[in-house]
Chain A
């Protein structure tokens, strides 16, 4: 099956700093990538959808200037949390979809803790 990786798996940063999370499709070309946020004991919340070479489409209520998404290639998308604050602490999960697949393949997630 298709594999998606995320890096880092865990990150702790100070308030006010920026953090970059990478999402890679390892064995297929990801036409579309999705970024989710998950709060403890809750379901996934879609933050944005990105297509390779295009600007990301953000869901209502998600600040595009705070959560910068870049999908520069068919195998890599990055999420940068800018000027992070403690309320940004969460579990961030990416997923990817290729043209030959009906489903999304999920990365293992990144636990962000902002002190």
Chain B
């Protein structure tokens, strides 16, 4: 069965420090992996995706994520956090043959000045 795990409900990082938001997945076929960000009372904004190619994917707002097939992970990273990065982050996966997304539970990212 397909699934996505975001093991941390909340991640706290000091401004200027690097941040990592973890995501692991399970699919039977080739994974298409996505990260979205949601600000309070707003819809989701697309950050980045991995379909194929380079394992390191660069996205919006300075975020990047690394696809690790052996560890079935797709962790979201940023070298230097900003207070404005504070939001709810969702990891999602789908198989290449199915457009329905499977969602992680979300991780609340708090960046402290």
A interface, CB within 8 angstroms of B: 1, 6, 32, 34, 41-44, 46, 49, 91, 93, 95, 97, 102-109, 111
Contacts and interface: CB of A to CB of B under 8 A. Distances in A.
B41 A49 contact: no
A109 B106 contact: no
Contacts of A103: 32, 34, 46, 49
Interface of B: 32, 34, 36, 41-46, 49, 51, 90, 99-101, 103-106, 108
A50 to B, nearest CB: 12
B94 to A, nearest CB: 9
A97 B49 CA distance: 15
Contacts, number: 47
B49 A106 contact: no
B43 A108 contact: yes
| Main DSSP-derived SS at the A contact region | strand
B106 A42 contact: yes
Given A44-B90, A105-B46, A49 B105 contact: no
